[in-house]
Amino acid sequence: MSQIRPIKFFSGRASIYLAEQIAKNFGTELGRTSVFQFSDGEFQPAYDESVRGCTVFIIQSTFPPGDNLLELLMMVDAAKRASADKVVAVIPYFGYARQDRKDQPRVAVTAKLIADIISKAGADRVITMDLHAAQIQGFFDIPLDHLYASPIYTDEFKDKSENLAVVSPDAGGIKIARSYAKRLKAELVLIDKRRPNHNQAEVMNVIGEVEGKNILIVDDLIDTGGTFVAAISALKKRGAKNIYGAITHPLLSGEALQRIENTELNKLYVTDTIPLRNLAPDSKIQVNTSAELFAEAIIRSHYNESISSLFDVDKS
């Protein structure tokens, strides 16, 4: 049996708020780091304590700006050069995941590019949550643990499961929506949409019965809010009763926050993979922490235990 190495947690600047909670759930504290900032904007992260022979978990979401991704890569490289035994990149939100295929001429498959760069930087493993497309797991040449946010939300909806329908806002999210429906013993509804342009969505059809039902819309991320708001409008027109949302990654760019607050939505539940600050006390958005789930996954990864047993995701 292989010896269990000492474990240390570190965080990039974008995810300190979450990393502190993950470390606390694990029963430890974040390791010490510093970042030297050059006058031209260039920066250099450094470890302020030894990581030699340790298993190092580096926690950093890679939402914009690109410096968040770059900082993660530099921290992975620095840990390897400091003789860490194993480096695990914990990426609560994996940015650029929407660029997972060549869907038009002369564009990059950026999700694959970033997977290659993370591996090349020296990461031995990646832990992430609710990828935009499950096939991105295959872009990595190192092990990847894919977590699901559904356990964070299902307890919220056990007391709202009566006359409940789970809605996927597009065909790509049908698998995760089926998982929620199975857990909550709810009906499954699909919204057929099209995108005339980037960040624009039009609802074409609602496939399934929603009249008089309570609705739970589930998705991996919400950016401009266009798809989400259009779904709420279409569902209300078809007689839906109370509408809730459970979205993992709250990008909420532009006027998305205002758009959501102005809808007939009852409540939107999101996780803290991306920081949301200055929410009004009466906001329709509630943040649920993912720290406990990540901590449990890290414990299981470190002690070579099963992570997939944490979830009950429909594989059909």
Question: What does the pLDDT look like over 261-276, one tens digit per residue?
Answer: 999 999 999 999 999 9
* 3-state secondary structure at position 88: strand
- Residue 252 CA to its chain's centroid (Å): 13
Looking up tokens 């490289």 gives: 77
292 vs 44, 103, 189, CA distance in Å?
A: 30, 37, 30
- Catalytic site includes residue 193: yes
CA 218, CA 170: separation in Å to the nearest integer?
10
Q: What percent of the chain has pLDDT over 70?
A: 93
Rounded to 5 degrees, φ, ψ at 53 are 75, 5
Answer yes or no: is pLDDT of 129 > 90. yes
CATH topology for 150-288 is Rossmann fold (3.40.50)
CA 149, CA 130: separation in Å to the nearest integer?
7
CB 151 within 8 A of CB 311: yes
CA 266, CA 43: separation in Å to the nearest integer?
43
pLDDT tens readout for residues 169-187: 888 788 889 889 988 889 9
109 vs 40, 116, 128, 214, CA distance in Å?
A: 30, 11, 19, 38
The pLDDT of residue 149 is 92
Amino acid at 131: L
Give 30's DSSP letter: B
**Given pLDDT bands bounded at 50, 70 and 90, which one contains residue 199?**
low
CA 144, CA 127: separation in Å to the nearest integer?
6
Q: CATH 3.40.50.2020 occupies which residues in the chain?
A: 7-148+292-310, 150-288
What would the mean pLDDT of 158-173 be, rounded to a whole number? 85
CA 20, CA 15: separation in Å to the nearest integer?
9
Q: Which residues of 95-118 are buried (b: 16+ CB within 10 A; e: fewer)?
A: bbbebbeeeeeeeeeebbebbeeb
What is the domain class of 7-148+292-310 according to CATH?
Answer: alpha beta
How far does the chain reach from its first CA to its final CA, in angstroms?
Answer: 36
Take residue 167 and report the two structure tokens written for it: 């809605």
The pLDDT of residue 158 is 80
Q: Nearest to residue 279, comparing CAs of 254, 259, 261? A: 261
| Candidates 80, 193, 213, 284; catalytic one | 193
